[in-house]
């Protein structure tokens, strides 16, 4: 089981901040493919990966990052702090 978190407009588009997913995905990109196949709101949220960032266990990562042993994945738009 993996915790999947969504922030900012990704959270709004998908309609929830967090969910627990039972996934056999090997990489982040595989997980995105699984999520997009679920429902249109997921498909829309993930339609342009260049507009998204991903964190794996609270560290910024790439979409080809492996998921073995990972507990938490977060998807969000580019950050706008400061």
- Residue whose CB is less far from another protein, 69 or 78: 78
- Residue whose CB is less far from another protein, 69 or 82: 82
End-to-end CA distance of the chain: 34
Contacts with another protein by CB under 8 A lie at 5, 7-9, 55, 58-60, 74, 76-82
- Residue whose CB is less far from another protein, 26 or 79: 79
The distance of closest approach from Cβ of residue 5 to another protein in the complex, given in angstroms and rounded to an integer, is: 7
């Amino acid at each position: 089981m993996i915790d999947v978190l969504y922030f900012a407009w990704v959270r709004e588009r998908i309609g929830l901040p967090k969910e627990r997913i039972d996934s056999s995905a090997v990489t982040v990109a595989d997980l995105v493919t699984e999520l997009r196949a679920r429902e249109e709101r997921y498909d829309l949220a993930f339609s342009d990966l260049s507009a998204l960032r991903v964190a794996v266990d609270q560290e910024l990562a790439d979409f080809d990052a492996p998921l073995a042993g990972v507990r938490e994945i977060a998807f969000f738009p580019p950050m706008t702090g400061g």
